[in-house]
Amino acid sequence: MIMEKENWIETVMESTNGITKVTPSKTLFSKITFKINQEKKVSPQTIWLVAASILVLVLLNIAAIKTQRFSKQETSSVYLSGTLNQSNQLYQ
């Protein structure tokens, strides 16, 4: 049984003997050139520039929304204080 096991292990270890080289598909080179051309169209610098621009826009929008909310609150409190000072006559 030990011999059988050793023989089996050897058979497995030697199973790649005589392995032949495989040729890739004929279309592979055109896929490579296509991939290179695609990467040339959009350079990494462009991607970073676009990402940075989007970030700046988002931050500006957040700041604008915060400013708007603050000025709305101010307007409301100014209006309220204005209405309080009017005559206490309900019917004029």
Partner 1 sequence: MQNNAFDLNFLYQTYNLLVYNVALNYVQNVEDAEEITQDVFVKVNYSLKNFNQKSSLKTWIYRITVNQSLDFIKKKNSQKRFFIFGKRNENEYDYLNASAFEHPGIELEKKEEAELLFTTINTLPENQKTAFILSKIDGLSNPVVAEIMEISISAVESLVFRAKSSLKDKLAHKYLEYRKNKK
Alpha helix locations (H) across the chain?
Answer: 2-13, 28-41, 44-84
H or E element that contains 16? none
Give 46-50's long-range contacts (Cβ < 8 A, gap of 24+): none
Residue list 23-52, contact with partner 1 (CB under 8 A): 23-25, 28-29, 31-33, 35-36, 39
Q: At 87, phi and psi to the nearest 5?
A: -55, 145
Residue 78 interacting with partner 1 (CB under 8 A): no
Which range touches partner 1 (CB under 8 A), out of 1-9, 50-58, 60-68, 76-84?
1-9
Q: Which is nearer to partner 1, 23 or 81 (CB)?
A: 23
Using CB under 8 A, pick the residue from 3, 22, 80, 90 that binds partner 1. 22
Instruction: State the minimum distance, in angstroms, from the CB of residue 70 to partner 1.
Output: 40
Residues in touch with partner 1 (CB under 8 A): 5, 8-9, 11-13, 15-16, 18-25, 28-29, 31-33, 35-36, 39
